[in-house]
Amino acid sequence: MIRIAITHPEAEARERWCAALSALLPHAQVEGWRPGDEPADYAIGWYPEAGFFADQPRLRALFSAGAGVDHLLRHPDLPAALPVVRLEDAGMAEQMVEYCLHEVLRLQRRVPDYEALQREGRWQELRALRRDELEVGVFGLGVLGAQVARAFAALGYPVRGYSRSPKAIEGVSCFDEARGLRAFLEGCRVLVLLAPLTPDTRDLFDGQRLAWLPEGAWLVNVARGALVVDEALLAALDSGRLAGATLDVFREEPLPAEHRFWTHPGVRITPHVSAVTLPEISARQVASKIAALERGEPVSGLVLRDRGY
């Protein structure tokens, strides 16, 4: 019988993963990990507890309980040769589409301006923007970014996207290194960040790159906080070069109480909820990958360690 260990820090998530996987893999023993447990064949985790890997001489793969793996790859005890497999969509793309669409519609229908007018008690009609006036740029055209880009394109917004390798997506003007990041950013009225945190993307959106965005652009960061240099973003907002930023992710989470983002009038904050892991749907994906690995077949979503995602 194969043993599957759940190493999630939240008790509720552990229970949901255990229940869902046990139902899908009745011949496996699935348990929340405790020190001293018998070694597991597979593990599912957000960030395994201290001591976990030392107790795992026969682990065959670690499944990330999320799409991003930057935190897992920074785990000091992660064995160098252990295959790490990430979640691919598993119900997150639909949530990302909803979140990004909501932010763009707010801008298009001038909601931030109406909120300001309401605070002043002013009754004033403003012209709503047309879809063709709001070019949406998606930085990162992977499993989630490509679906966000397609959703905006299907609604008639002009859409551009940027990825590491060249892409062709219907209705989306695709950029990579060859066309250049500057050319990409110069056309983004709204910039959605949806790329992983890697050595190449950390601090990428500094003062210089943010200044390549058009005057009055809006940033939506649903990727990882460290893609953006906080001070550079605050300076761009203070100067009015950027109209605003919607931030779902932060360098430090929870966002410290004293951080200026909390009170800045141009910043909208949500607590890392743009697309949450749904254990029941995710378990179906993980269970079918475990079954494939048991048959000796390859699986998708394998993290390439040298690339960082």
Among 77, 113, 133, 200, binds ligand NDP (CB under 6 A): 200
Distance CA 47, CA 117 (A): 45
Cα-Cα end-to-end distance for the chain: 31
Least separation in angstroms between CB 202 and ligand NDP: 10
> What letter would DSSP give residue 7?
-
Residue 219 in contact with ligand NDP, rule: CB under 6 A = no
Distance CA 223, CA 57 (A): 33
Residues 251 to 290 in contact with ligand OXD, rule: CB under 6 A: 277
CB atoms within 10 A of CB 40: 25
Amino acid, res. 276: V
Least separation in angstroms between CB 92 and ligand OXD: 6
Residue 224 in contact with ligand NDP, rule: CB under 6 A = yes
165 binds, among ligand OXD, ligand NDP, none (CB under 5 to 8 A by kind): ligand NDP
Peptide bond into 254 cis (omega under 30): yes
Task: Name the β-bridge partners of 139.
Answer: 162, 193
The token pair that represents 277 in the structure block: 């892991």
The residue (of 33 and 250) whose beta carbon lies closer to ligand NDP is 250
Residue 68 in contact with ligand OXD, rule: CB under 6 A = yes
Least separation in angstroms between CB 271 and ligand OXD: 11
Residue 245 in contact with ligand NDP, rule: CB under 6 A = no
**Number of residues counted as binding ligand OXD (CB under 6 A):** 4
Contact 221, 270 (CB under 8 A): no
* Annotation says 268 is catalytic: no
Contact 193, 220 (CB under 8 A): yes
Least separation in angstroms between CB 68 and ligand NDP: 3
Among 28, 67, 100, 141, binds ligand OXD (CB under 6 A): 67
Distance CA 134, CA 154 (A): 14
Task: Give me the helix-helix angle, 92-108 and 143-154, nearest 10°.
Answer: 40
The token pair that represents 162 in the structure block: 């940027």
Least separation in angstroms between CB 69 and ligand OXD: 8
Residue 165 in contact with ligand NDP, rule: CB under 6 A = yes
Contact stretch for ligand OXD (CB under 6 A) within 52-60, 64-72, 280-288, 289-297:
64-72
Residue 82's SS3 state is coil
Contact 109, 120 (CB under 8 A): no
106, 131, 264, 272: the catalytic one is 272
Reported as type and span, the H/E element at residue 263 is none
Contact 183, 212 (CB under 8 A): no
* Annotation says 182 is catalytic: no
Least separation in angstroms between CB 17 and ligand OXD: 14
The residue (of 40 and 283) whose beta carbon lies closer to ligand NDP is 283
224, 251, 259, 284: the catalytic one is 224
Residue 45's SS3 state is strand
- Binding residues (CB under 6 A) for ligand OXD: these are 66-68, 277
Active site residues: 224, 272
- Binding residues (CB under 6 A) for ligand NDP: these are 67-68, 92, 140-145, 162-165, 194-198, 200-201, 222-224, 248-249, 272, 274-275, 309
